[in-house]
Structure 1
Amino acid sequence: MAEILKPKKTNPRGIPEAPFIEKVDNVIKDPDNEFQSVMSQFQQRLQQYKYMELSKQQQLADLNIKIPDIEKNLTVIDQLKESKREAQEYEEEEDIEEEGKSKELTFNYELNDTLYNQATVNLEKLDSVYLWLGAEVMLEYPLDEAIELLNERLTKSYEQKTIIEEDLEFLKENITTMEVNTARLFNWDVERRKKLTSK
C-alpha cells in the first residue's frame, strides 16, 4: 500500500512526482486495516508539498527583492563610471585650470524607503565602491570588479528564479493531484461505509 507513494519520477531537484489513483480498489485491498494508514500517508505527502511550496514562494519573494537591488547598484556604478569618463574627456579637451570644475558629482542616495541623503563624489579620486555582501559585511571593490561581481550575482539570481518558478509549477500540479487523490479516497470510503450499513 505504501509502495504507491514511492516516487517513480522526480523533478531535477529531487521533488517526487505524486502518483495518481485511478482505482482506489487497486490501492486498498483490506479497507478495515489499510484505509486510515493510506489516507494519513497521502495527507502527509500533501502537507509536505504545501510546506515545500511555501518555502519556494519565500525564496521567490526574496529574489524579487534582491534582483531589483542588484540592478539598481549596477545602474549607479555604471553612472559613476560614465561621469568619471566624461570628466576626464572634458578635462583633456578643455585643459581646465579651475579646480573642481566638472570633477565632482552630486547625487541623492537612499538610506531607507523614505529617507534620502545627498553626497558629492570627487570623480578624480573615484576608483572603487563599497558593496554589501550580506551578514553585515561590506567590501571595497574597484569599479570594474564591482560591475563584474554584480553581473555574476544578477545572472545567478535570474537562474535561481527560473528554477524556483519551475519547482513551484511542479509543486502546484502535484498538490492538485494529491488533493484529488485524498478526495477520491475519502469519497470511496464514504461509499463503502454506506454499502456496509445498508446491508
Structure 2
Amino acid sequence: MEADKDMIEVEEKVKSYAGIPEAEFVDDIDAYMTLETNSGEVDKVLKRLDEQHSKYKCMEYNLLSKKRRLRVQIPDLEMSLAMIKFLQKQNESPSDLEMEFLLSEQAYVKATIPPTDKVCLWLGANVMLEYTLDDASELLEKNIDSAKKNLSHVEHDLDFLRDQFTTTEVNMARVFNWDVKRRKTAKEAAS
C-alpha cells in the first residue's frame, strides 16, 4: 500500500519529461488582471499568453518530429535484430547463404555470404563498428527498448502539451472576455 502511494506521488511529479513549463490556469480573472505583472493591461497580458502559446507550438513541432523519427527507427532496429537472429541460425550450418541486397531503388544484387560470427552496424554520423552476433543482438535489443521508452515519453509530453494549449487558450479567452465586459461596463457608466 505504501509503495502504491509512493508510485502515485512520483507519477504526479513527472508532468513532463522534456521540461515543458506548465501553464497556470486563471481561476479568478479579476484578481489575475490586478496583479502587479499585469496591472490591468489587456494587450500586454494577451501578448504574453500568445507568446507562451507560440512556444508551445514550437515544442509541439519538435516533439512531433522526434516522434516521427522514433516511429521509423524502431522498425529499422527490429528488422536489424531479426537479421542478426537469422545470421545466428545460419551460422550453425556450414553452407553459404545466397541473398539479394538492395543497392538503390529497384536495383538489387545477389551475393553469397559465408557463415559468420561478426556483423557491422551503423551507429550514426558515418560511424560503423564490427560486433559479434551476440553483442550486436544485445546492443540492438537495448536500443529498441530505449527507443520505445523514448517514444512513450514523447507521447506523454505531447498529451501534456495539448493540456497546456487548452489552458493557455482558455486563459486568452477569459482575458479577452474580461476586457469586453470591462469596456461594456465603462460604456454603460459613461452613458
TM-score by length of 1: 0.79
Paired residues of 2:118 and 2:132 also in contact (CA < 8 A)? yes
Residues 9-158 of structure 1: pairs in structure 2 closer than 5 A: 11-13=15-17, 14-29=19-34, 33-85=40-92, 87-88=93-94, 103-112=95-104, 114-123=106-115, 126-158=116-148
User: Does the aligned pair in 2 maintain the 1:10–1:17 contact within 8 Å?
Assistant: no
- Equivalents in 2 of 1:74, 1:10: separation in Å? 32
5+ long unaligned stretches in structure 1: 1-8, 89-102
Moved more, 145-154 or 181-190: 181-190
Q: Is the 8 A contact 2:101 2:110 kept in 1?
A: yes
Query: Who is 1:98 aligned against?
Result: none
1:5-58 C-alpha deviation (Å, 9 max, x unpaired): xxxx87253322211112311111288752222221111111111111111111
- Name the CA distance, whole Å, in 2 between partners of 1:16 and 1:80: 47
CA RMSD of aligned residues (A): 2.0
Q: What is the CA-CA distance between 1:140 and the residue it aligns to?
A: 1.1
Q: Which residue of 2 aligns with 1:5?
A: none
Q: Secondary structure at the match of 1:22?
A: coil
- Opposite residue 73 of structure 1, the aligned amino acid is S
Distance in 2, matches of 1:105 and 1:134, equals 28
Partner AA of 2:73 in structure 1: K
Q: What whole-Å deviation, never above 9, does each CA across 1:49-101 have from its counterpart, x for those lacking one?
A: 1111111111110001111100000111111111122x15xxxxxxxxxxxxx
Matched, 1:161 2:168: no
Unaligned runs of 5+ in 2: 1-12
> Is the alpha carbon distance of 1:63 and 1:150 closer, same or farther for their aligned partners in structure 2, counting shifts above 3 Å?
same
Change (3 A) 1:197 1:115: farther
- For residues 27 and 112 of structure 1, the distance between their equivalents in structure 2, rounded to whole angstroms, comes to 61
Residues paired across the two proteins, number? 174
Identity %: 37
Checking the alignment, whether the CA contact within 8 Å between 2:84 and 2:133 is kept in structure 1 is yes
Report the more deviating stretch, 9-18 or 161-170.
9-18
Structure 1 range deviating more: 107-116 or 175-184: 107-116
State the AA in 2 paired with 1:193: R
